Amino acid sequence: MTQRPKTLFEKIWDAHHVAQTAGGAHLIAIDRVFLHERTGASALKSLAASGRPVRDPARVFAVMDHIVDTRIGRGDDTLMPGGSAFITETRAAAQAAGITLFDVNDPDQGITHVISPELGIVLPGATLVAPDSHTCTQGALGAFAWGIGSSEAEHAMATGVLRLDRPKTMRVTFNGTLASAVTPKDMALHLLATYGAGGGAGHVVEFAGEAVTALDIEGRMTLCNMATEFSAMTAIIAPDAKTYAYLAGRRHAPASFDASYWSKLTTDDGATFDREIVIDAATIAPMVSWGTSPEHSMAVTGSVPKGPDRAHAYIGLEAGQTLLGTPIDAAFIGSCTNARLSDLRRAADLLRGRHIAPTMRKALVVPGSSAVKRAAEAEGLDKVFTAAGFEWRASGCSLCFYAGGESFPEGSRTISSTNRNFEGRQGPGIRTHIASPETVAASAIAGAIADPRELAR
Minimum distance from residue 65 beta carbon to ligand IPM (Å): 8
**Segment contacting ligand IPM by CB under 6 A, of 98-106, 127-135, 254-262, 359-367:** 127-135
Long-range pairs of 381-385 with CB within 8 A, sequence gap ≥ 24: 381/344, 381/345, 381/348, 384/348, 384/351, 384/352, 385/344, 385/347, 385/348, 385/351
How big is the site for ligand IPM, counted in residues (CB under 6 A)? 8
279 touches which of ligand IPM, ligand SF4, none (CB within 5 to 8 A by kind)? none
* CA-based nearest residue to 406, from 426, 432, 385, 429: 426
413 touches which of ligand SF4, ligand IPM, none (CB within 5 to 8 A by kind)? none
The residue sitting closest to ligand IPM, measured at its beta carbon, is 133
Whole-angstrom distance, CA of residue 449 vs CA of residue 436: 12
Beta strands 362-365 and 391-392 are parallel
Minimum distance from residue 426 beta carbon to ligand SF4 (Å): 10
Minimum distance from residue 138 beta carbon to ligand SF4 (Å): 11
Closer Cβ to ligand IPM, 38 or 340, answer by number: 38
Per CB under 6 A, 103 contacts ligand SF4:
no
Strand partners, 280: 175
39 touches which of ligand IPM, ligand SF4, none (CB within 5 to 8 A by kind)? ligand IPM
Burial call 182-203: b when 16+ CB within 10 Å, e when fewer = bbbbbbbbbbbbebebebbeeb
**Segment contacting ligand IPM by CB under 6 A, of 43-51, 130-138, 198-206, 269-277:** 130-138
Per CB under 6 A, 397 contacts ligand SF4:
yes
Residue 181 near residue 157, CB atoms below 8 Å = no
Question: With DSSP H G I counted as helix, E B as strand and the rest as coil, what are the percentages for the chain, rounded to 5?
Answer: 35, 20, 45
* CA-based nearest residue to 267, from 27, 5, 31, 29: 5
**Segment contacting ligand SF4 by CB under 6 A, of 44-52, 86-94, 292-300, 393-401:** 393-401
Contact pick of 31, 37, 132, 154 for ligand IPM (by CB under 6 A): 132
**Segment contacting ligand IPM by CB under 6 A, of 128-136, 263-271, 314-322, 343-351:** 128-136
* List of residues 6+ apart from 157 with CB closer than 8 A: 33, 43, 44, 47, 54, 55, 60, 97
Degrees to nearest 5, angle at CA 66 with 62 and 71? 115
Contact pick of 11, 134, 312, 431 for ligand SF4 (by CB under 6 A): 134
* List of residues 6+ apart from 1 with CB closer than 8 A: none
Chain centroid to CA 29: 24
> Scanning residues 33 to 72, which ones bind ligand IPM (CB under 6 A)?
38-39, 66
Per CB under 6 A, 230 contacts ligand IPM:
no
Per CB under 6 A, 293 contacts ligand SF4:
no
Per CB under 6 A, 336 contacts ligand SF4:
yes
- φ/ψ region of 278 (left if φ > 0, alpha if ψ in -120 to 50, else beta) reads beta
Closer Cβ to ligand IPM, 39 or 326, answer by number: 39
How big is the site for ligand SF4, counted in residues (CB under 6 A)? 11
Tell me how far CA of residue 284 lies from CA of 213, 235, 323, in angstroms.
Answer: 16, 20, 17
Chain centroid to CA 215: 16
Per CB under 6 A, 134 contacts ligand IPM:
yes
Minimum distance from residue 314 beta carbon to ligand SF4 (Å): 20
**Segment contacting ligand SF4 by CB under 6 A, of 24-32, 49-57, 373-381, 394-402:** 394-402
281 touches which of ligand IPM, ligand SF4, none (CB within 5 to 8 A by kind)? none
Residue 153 near residue 35, CB atoms below 8 Å = yes
Whole-angstrom distance, CA of residue 324 vs CA of residue 299: 10
Closer Cβ to ligand SF4, 129 or 397, answer by number: 397
Closer Cβ to ligand SF4, 112 or 243, answer by number: 112
Residues contributing to the site for ligand IPM (CB under 6 A)? 38-39, 66, 132-134, 147, 401
Residues contributing to the site for ligand SF4 (CB under 6 A)? 66, 111, 132, 134, 335-336, 397, 400-401, 418-419
